[in-house]
């Protein structure tokens, strides 16, 4: 309990220092969030090169506007996710002609993550999932990534996406149905 409180205080302190322009404090926030922002962008773009480019732009923009950041009790990552969301939306607008994105690049797994029986099968499954996720509307993609990759609760996702908890719950169920029907449809087409 005290540890949690201390941790919260230290996170708040780091954030407050970063807002005042302390670069060391911002570097702590960078280290804490770079992987989650990269993962989010990777799911949305489907390739390493653009994921790296957009991740770099997210943090450059965040550093440039950190003095304007207002702590409203929402996690700092929410602010970064919004920047990432906007940049990815612009990226999609610029690349709207390219409908299919290659997923031949092998994503690296987290150390300590569940190891698959066969990494090839796992990569293929992840690739198929990526393709199907990327066919969903942007807000649904964001919801799935926040839910399954970051393991956030509906309340936290609601804060990030600027919606009510109820709206997220309902959107989540609709998203699952849509994704499931797409996956089943793909399976039928393959047969």
Partner 1 sequence: MDKIAGNSSNKFENELKKKFIRFQPDENFVKKLSDKLFEQSSITLENSKKYLYNFFFVLFGLFSGYFLIRIIKSILKPKKQEAKNNHSKISQPGT
| Residues in touch with partner 1 (CB under 8 A) | 21, 23, 26-27, 30-31, 34-36, 38-39, 42-43, 48, 51-52, 55-56, 59-60, 63, 107-111, 113-114, 125-126, 129, 144-145, 148-149, 176, 179-180
Calculate the CA 174 to chain-centre distance.
19
Nearer to partner 1, 52 or 165 (CB): 52
Residue 114 half-sphere exposure toward CB, CA atoms < 13 A: 4
The helix/strand/coil state of 71 is coil
Q: Maximum distance among all alpha carbons in the chain?
A: 59
CB of 1 to partner 1, least distance (A): 28
Nearer to partner 1, 159 or 175 (CB): 175
Q: How many CB atoms lie within 10 A of CB 64?
A: 9
Nearer to partner 1, 49 or 93 (CB): 49
Nearer to partner 1, 1 or 108 (CB): 108
Structure tokens at 4: 């949690």
């Amino acid at each position: 309990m005290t540890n949690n409180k201390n941790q919260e205080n230290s996170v708040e302190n780091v954030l407050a220092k970063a807002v005042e322009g302390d670069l060391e404090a911002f570097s702590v926030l960078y280290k804490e969030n770079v992987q989650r922002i990269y993962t989010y962008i990777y799911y949305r773009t489907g390739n390493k090169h653009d994921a790296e480019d957009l991740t770099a732009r997210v943090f450059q923009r965040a550093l440039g506007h950190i003095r304007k950041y207002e702590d409203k009790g929402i996690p700092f990552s929410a602010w970064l996710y919004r920047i990432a969301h906007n940049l990815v939306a612009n990226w999609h607008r610029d690349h709207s002609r390219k409908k299919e994105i290659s997923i031949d690049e092998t994503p690296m797994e987290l150390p300590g993550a569940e190891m698959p029986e066969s990494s090839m099968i796992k990569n293929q499954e992840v690739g198929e999932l990526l393709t199907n996720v990327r066919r969903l509307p942007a807000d649904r993609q964001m919801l799935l990534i926040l839910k399954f990759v970051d393991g956030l609760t509906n309340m936290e996702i609601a804060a990030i996406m600027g919606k009510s908890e109820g709206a997220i719950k309902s959107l989540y169920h609709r998203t699952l149905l849509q994704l499931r029907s797409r996956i089943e449809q793909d399976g039928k087409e393959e047969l």
